[in-house]
Amino acid sequence: MKIPKQAYTAEFKELAVRRVKDGQSVGKVCKEFGLSDQSLRNWVKAAEEGRLSGAGGKVVRAEEMELSRLRANNLRLKRSLKS
């Protein structure tokens, strides 16, 4: 029986790639996110080439990844202020 392919959002991929670029090991990030090493390495390479795509194959530009990161950070800050 074939295992269905997991569809990851662009935000999820960008977050995992950002962790690697910030200095965490690929192995540690993969363990934390439940990913295979090869998938994450492919995402890092695609991000470096400016062609990281989200679920459905939509190509996500570097500007969109940064906007997504800033939105997530903004939301995290808002939640921390409410606590």
Domain that holds residue 25: 10-82
pTM across the whole model: 0.61
State pLDDT tens for residues 57-79. 556 667 776 777 788 888 888 88
Report DSSP state, residue 35. Answer: -
Q: Are 10 and 65 in contact (CB under 8 A)?
A: yes
pLDDT in tens, 5-21: 567 888 888 899 999 99
Does the residue 46 lie in any domain? yes
Residue count (the chain): 83
Question: What whole-number distance in Å separates Cα of residue 47 and Cα of residue 20?
Answer: 11
CATH of the domain at 43: 1.10.10
**Residue 2 counted as domain residue:** no
Nearest alpha carbon to residue 52 among 12, 2, 14, 7: 14
